[in-house]
Amino acid sequence: MTQLLNGNRLAIEIRKEISKEIDKNIRNQKKRIPHLGIILLGNNSSSITYVNSKIKECKNIGIQSTLVHLTVEISELELLKEIQKMNENSLIDGFIIQLPIPKHINTDNIILAINPKKDVDGFHPENFGKMSLNMKTFFPATALGILVLLERYKIKISGKNTVVIGRSRIVGRPISILMSRKNYLGNSTVTLTHSYTKNIENYTKNADIIIISVGIPGFLTGKMIKKGAIIIDVGINKVKNKKKFILKGDVDFNSVYGKASYLTPVPGGVGPMTRIMLIKNILIASALNNKKK
């Protein structure tokens, strides 16, 4: 029997914990409420949906958010100026730039311009390097959300064979690093696969845990996994179904359900955990900001 890993329900529990933490350590002590900045470029419907969900999460928990919505035609130089404004704004504890960034702008230059102490996405090389060395830093929210999801469901990672499908800086690379750390939420033997991996099913059939984020609906099928495998589906794809679009993951749900021991649904699995972990990161940034004063 497959148990669904309910990210929605777990995010609600963590939201309550965070709200209590804010009341105890911030409101009751008359400290400034944490403040998240968001930079959004253009009017991509998916990006707008993601940003709105993050703003809603901030509102639900009771922290501040500021959205800077810029035209997609903005130059790299002008975007760098907007980033510097966020860096210098003492009222903004941390900020994110909603990806993807338009092709005429160099993503690496943009990420490098973010003050690492305000990089609550955890993508700056300084933070990514610290994560690789198992040092305290901001962990990318999706990767952290996956770890917390596994932890709260008491799923053991140590000693397991984990296959990660997809090598993006947002999911694949960070989760492969975190899962292999010498840590109680690590110690897994990780294989990182990607679009150039030949005969990928040779890896997935031997995996205890599979984490997939490739942006291809239904890529991972029941024939590609062993019985009892733990499947974490990070994919979220809009697929046309008759007259409307529906959301589907990178896992072929119907063929995997019943064979896997645990499975994240789409939607309602990893997505809510990503948003709540971003809030966790902004609380860390706020605490660091308060220490400087």
Enumerate the known binding-site residues for NADP(+): 166-168, 236
Q: Cα dist. 269→9, 35, 90, 150, 166 in Å? A: 9, 26, 34, 11, 18
Is 98 among the residues known to form the active site? yes
For 21, residues 6+ apart whose C-beta sits below 8 A from its C-beta are 283
Q: Cα dist. 127→131, 174, 184, 283 in Å? A: 6, 11, 21, 16
Beta bridge partners of 35: 64
One of 98, 118, 208, 248 is an active-site residue; which one?
98
One of 54, 118, 248, 280 is an active-site residue; which one?
54
One of 93, 118, 119, 121 is an active-site residue; which one?
121
Give binding residues as ranges.
166-168, 236
With residue 237 as reference, give the H or E element that holds it. Answer: strand 237-241
Contact assessment for residue 236 and residue 214, using Cβ atoms and an 8 Å cutoff: no
Is 54 among the residues known to form the active site? yes
Structure tokens at 179: 């899962």
| Residues recognised as catalytic | 54, 98, 121
